[in-house]
Amino acid sequence: MNIILLTAEDFCSPTCAVITDPRRTEHIFLIHKAQAGDQLKLGLINGDLGQGKILFIATNHIVVDEIVLDQPPPPPLPLTILLGLPRPKMLKRILQTVATLGVKKIYLLNSYRVEKSYWQTPWLTPEAIHTQLVLGLEQGRDTRLPEVILTKRFKPFVEDELPRLINNSRALVAHPYTNQACPAQARESITLAVGPEGGFIPYEISMLEQCGFTAVHLGARIMRVETAVPYLIGRLFS
């Protein structure tokens, strides 16, 4: 992790925090090989960035003092992602990736090619989603948690909610079988729809286009979702 993220519950005073969970303490102790007196790069979840000094370090808890959080996190991308729910193992990696890259709103969608069993995975619990987002934020030196919304009914969502959601943004859907290339270096807000493995079926593409989406491609190669998502983000906001 490139930053140690603190929660409000970690603080014992405005400038002192105690870190007790094994994941963070082990990382500071074993990976950073930190010692008392060392400075740590810190951030407060949904707050600012800064630093603090290790006052005491042990294998099961670390006391950080002289905490100053006075730097804003990186600006978010003006991007909302609509993602056909991927396989659970892939979902974990994608959530980390989009959090690292600065995406702040993600809709996980049902669609024809999403297997029903995917919606039963324990990786969709709020706690599991939170964990993956935090891992992504730590990598990207960010503090602002993305919002993840689960949407299990494709057609009502597209017909009833999506027109309002895409208002004041450019709506794009990734689709390999179209003639229009994905734009680059966007200067406006983007709503980007990406299908599950195998993509959206033609009926779903048609519904999205009727709602105001433009189908765009990334070239002749067919990519896995976990490859296509960061590729699209990099192309749109390079």
Identify the CATH number of the domain in which residue 40 sits: 2.40.240.20
- Mean pLDDT, to the nearest integer, of 12-37? 92
Q: Are residues 83 and 66 in the same domain?
A: no
Q: For residue 65, what are the domain limits?
A: 4-71
Where among 44, 71, 98 does a domain terminate? 71
Query: Can you tell me the mean pLDDT for 66-72?
Result: 97
**Domain final position from 15, 41, 71:** 71
Could you tell me the end-to-end alpha-carbon distance of the chain, in angstroms, rounded to an integer? 24
pLDDT greater than 90 at residue 209: yes
Each residue's pLDDT tens digit, 80-108: 999 999 999 999 999 999 999 999 999 99
Q: Is 29 in the same domain as 91?
A: no
The number of angstroms, rounded, from the C-alpha of 95 to the middle of its chain's C-alpha atoms is 4
Sign, Cα dihedral of 88, 93, 97, 100: positive
In this structure, the answer to whether residues 169 and 210 fall within a common structural domain is: yes
Domain check: are 34 and 57 in the same one? yes
pLDDT at 1: 78
Q: Answer yes or no: do 59 and 89 share one domain.
A: no
In 3D, which of 58, 59, 50, 53 has the Cα closest to residue 17? Answer: 53
Q: Which amino acid type is present at position 164?
A: R
Residues sharing a CB contact under 8 Å with residue 144, sequence separation 6 or more, in sequence order: 46, 73, 76, 104, 137
CA-wise closest residue to 47 among 95, 5, 96, 97: 5
Do 87 and 61 fall within a single domain? Answer: no
pLDDT, tens only, 125-168: 999 999 999 999 999 999 999 999 999 999 999 999 999 999 99
Determine how many CB atoms are found less than 10 A away from the CB of residue 104: 17
Q: Are residues 86 and 59 in the same domain?
A: no
- What pTM did the predictor assign? 0.93
Last residue of a domain, which of 20, 41, 71?
A: 71
